Chain A
Amino acid sequence: MGRNQRIGLLAGAVVIVVIAVIVIGGGSSDKTKTASGPQTVTVVNGKPQGGVKTITYKRGDTVDLTVSSDTADEIHIHGYDLHKDVTKGGSVHFTFPASIDGKFVIELENKGEQIASLQVEP
Chain B
Amino acid sequence: MSRRLTAAGATVLAAALALPATASAHGLVGKQDLPIPRWLFAWAASIVLVISFVGLAVLWPKPRLEQPRERRALRLPVQLEVLSGLIGIAIFVIVVYAGLAGVQTSTANLTPTVVYVLFWVGIPVLSLAFGDVFRPFNPWLAIGRGTGWLVKRLGAGADPIAYPAWLGRWPAAFAILAFAWVELAYTNKADPSTLSIMILAYAAMQIVGMSVYGTEAWSRYGDAFGVYFGLFARLSPLHWERGELRRRPPLGGAPFLDPIPGTVPLLCTMIGTTSFDGFSQGPLWTGTNGLGIQLQHRFLDLGFNAEVALEIAFTIGLIGVVLVISSLYRLGVLGMRSVGENHQATELGRRFVHSLIPIALAYVIAHYCSLLLYQGQAIAYLASVPLGHGSNIFGTADRTIDYNVINANGVWYVQVVALVIGHASGLTLAHDRALSMYRSARAATRSQYWMLVVMIGFTSLGLWLLSAANS
Chain A residues close to B by CB (< 8 Å): 1, 5-7, 9-10, 12-13, 16-17, 19-20, 23-24, 27, 29-30, 47, 51-52, 76, 78-79, 81, 99-105, 107, 112-114, 117, 119, 121-122
Contact = CB atoms under 8 A, between A and B. Distances in A.
A9 B30 contact: no
Given A6-B57, A24-B39, A24-B42, A103 B33 contact: yes
A122 B30 CA distance: 18
B54 A79 contact: no
Contacts of B442: 1
A17 B50 CA distance: 7
B31 A52 contact: no
Contacts of B53: 9-10, 12-13, 16
B57 A121 contact: no
Nearest to A122: B408
A61 to B, nearest CB: 15
Given A29-B39, A101-B34, A47 B18 contact: yes
B225 to A, nearest CB: 30
Q: Is the interface of A mostly helix, strand, loop or mixed?
A: mixed
B403 interface: yes
A6 B24 CA distance: 48
Interface residues of B, number: 35
Contacts of B50: 13, 16-17
Contacts of B18: 47, 51-52
Contacts of A29: 39
Nearest to A46: B16
A23 B46 CA distance: 11
B56 interface: yes
Given A16-B49, A114-B20, A121-B408, 6 more contacts: A1-B445, A9-B56, A52-B23, A81-B400, A107-B30, A114-B23
Contact of A24 (B16, B43, B403, B468): B43
B42 A100 contact: no
List 7 tightest A-B contacts by C-beta distance, closest first: A78-B30, A20-B46, A9-B57, A13-B53, A105-B30, A101-B408, A103-B32
Nearest to A54: B471
Nearest to A105: B30
10 contacts: A13-B53, A17-B46, A20-B42, A29-B39, A47-B18, A79-B403, A101-B34, A102-B34, A105-B24, A112-B20
A16 B400 contact: no
Contacts of A52: 18, 20, 23
A48 to B, nearest CB: 8
A20 B44 CA distance: 10
Contacts of A102: 31-34, 403, 408
Interface in B43-87: 43, 46, 49-50, 53-54, 56-58, 61
A62 to B, nearest CB: 17
A105 B28 CA distance: 11
B23 A105 contact: yes
Given A30-B37, A121-B408, A78 B43 contact: no
Contact of B30 (A5, A24, A104, A121): A104
Nearest to B51: A13
Contacts of B188: none
A23 B43 CA distance: 10
Interface string B429-442: 00000000000011
B2 interface: no
A44 B447 CA distance: 61
B290 to A, nearest CB: 13
A119 B471 CA distance: 12
B58 A6 contact: yes
A6 B34 CA distance: 39
Contacts of A79: 30-31, 403
A105 B281 CA distance: 14
Contacts of A27: 39, 42
A20 B51 CA distance: 14
Between B34, B37, B57, B58, the greatest number of chain A beta carbons within 10 A of the residue's beta carbon is seen for B57
A5 B23 CA distance: 49
Nearest to B58: A6
Contact of A122 (B39, B42, B409): B409
A121 B35 CA distance: 10
B404 interface: yes
Contact of B407 (A13, A17, A101): A101
Contacts of A112: 20
A76 B24 CA distance: 14
Nearest to B32: A103
Nearest to B400: A81
Contacts of B441: 1
Contacts of A76: 30
A70 B18 CA distance: 18
B34 A23 contact: no
A36 B198 CA distance: 46
Contacts of B31: 78-79, 102-105
